[in-house]
């Protein structure tokens, strides 16, 4: 993927940050997008210190205008986007019976609609180039469900469906579309969980450890590569065996 431009949403920390470093290491020119521009600048500096190219860009995944602006600016100033990693995601947990409509709408808008809009915007240039990689970061809960997360689960399950539909639409253009379903991974999203909850989770993970962002990034790096050119519409589990 040398000199191909990769665009990663939610890149300022956690899985997105690890993906940016992994793709940069593989030779891609990396556009890192998130709301926190200070963290993006720091990440871009780290990537440049490795002798790679980085392009930090602000994005709000709930805003179609912001998504369009970020992707257009990247393509214009940094090069046409060949690899899209839809990683941005938020949670607003609560039991479905009491869930506020706004909490449902915001999570779906960020995690699913935002990812769809980003896909729409990169597909045309990818079709012209007859080469593209779209990798949607879903979640193990999108496959197995999780109480208290109806909005998040629906958004992540939706990403799997979106992945399969786009894979079928785009296969003849040499554009692959795949999803990754991380399990329990050490990120800011899981950092506040109690030790008791962690211990209970580990009981259900055959590999007996919590995943690292780098575990997911390695899968992203593979699916973005030339070697993965005959894989599309696939859901790759990176969950330590939590769900099979």
Q: What is the pLDDT of residues 108-123, one digit of tens each?
A: 999 999 999 999 999 9
Quick one: tokens of 64?
Answer: 């179609």
Q: Is 152 a catalytic residue?
A: yes
**Any idea which architecture 5-238 has in CATH?**
3-Layer(aba) Sandwich (3.40)
What confidence score (pLDDT) does residue 196 get? 85
Radius of gyration of the chain (CA): 17
Distance CA 129, CA 112 (A): 26
> Does the pLDDT at position 188 exceed 80?
no
Among candidate residues 33, 152, 163, 239, the one labeled active-site is 152
Question: Residue 212, class by beta-carbon neighbours within 10 Å (0-12 exposed, 13-18 middle, 19+ buried)?
Answer: middle
Q: Tell me the mean pLDDT in the region 163-192.
A: 93
SS3 at position 236: strand
Least confident of 1-5, 90-94, 138-142, 168-172: 1-5
pLDDT tens string 43-86: 999 999 999 999 999 999 999 999 999 999 999 999 999 999 99
- Rounded to an integer, the average pLDDT of 216-238 is 98
Work out whether strand 132-137 and strand 29-34 pair parallel, antiparallel, or are unpaired. unpaired
| Cα distance between the two ends of the chain | 31
Which band of pLDDT confidence, cut at 50, 70 and 90, is reported for residue 189?
Answer: low
Other Cβ atoms less than 10 A from the Cβ of 26: the count is 19
Question: What is the pLDDT of the chain when averaged over all its residues?
Answer: 96
Mean pLDDT (whole number) for 175-204: 88
Q: Provide the CA 150 distance to its chain's centre, in angstroms.
A: 19
Average pLDDT over residues 188-201: 80
Confidence at 94, pLDDT banded by 50, 70, 90: very high
């Amino acid at each position: 993927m040398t000199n191909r431009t990769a665009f990663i949403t939610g890149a300022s920390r956690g899985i997105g940050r690890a993906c940016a470093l992994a793709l940069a290491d593989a030779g891609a020119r990396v556009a890192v997008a998130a709301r926190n521009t200070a963290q993006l600048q720091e990440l871009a500096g780290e990537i440049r210190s490795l002798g790679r190219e980085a392009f930090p860009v602000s994005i709000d995944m709930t805003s179609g205008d912001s998504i369009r602006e970020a992707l257009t600016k990247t393509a214009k100033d940094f090069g046409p986007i060949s690899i899209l990693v839809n990683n941005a995601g938020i949670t607003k947990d609560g039991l479905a019976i009491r869930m506020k409509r706004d909490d449902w709408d915001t999570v779906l808008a960020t995690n699913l609609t935002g990812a769809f809009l980003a896909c729409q915007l990169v597909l045309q240039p990818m079709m012209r180039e007859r080469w593209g990689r779209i990798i949607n970061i879903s979640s193990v809960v999108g496959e197995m469900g999780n109480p208290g997360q109806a909005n998040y689960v629906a958004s992540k399950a939706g990403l799997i469906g979106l992945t399969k539909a786009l894979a079928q639409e785009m296969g003849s253009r040499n554009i692959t579309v795949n999803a990754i379903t991380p399990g329990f991974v050490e990120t800011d999203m899981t950092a506040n969980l109690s030790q008791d909850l962690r211990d209970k989770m580990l009981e259900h993970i055959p590999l007996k450890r919590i995943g690292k962002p780098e575990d997911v990034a390695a899968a992203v790096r593979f699916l973005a590569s030339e070697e993965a050119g005959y894989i599309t519409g696939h859901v790759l589990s990176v969950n330590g065996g939590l769900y099979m």
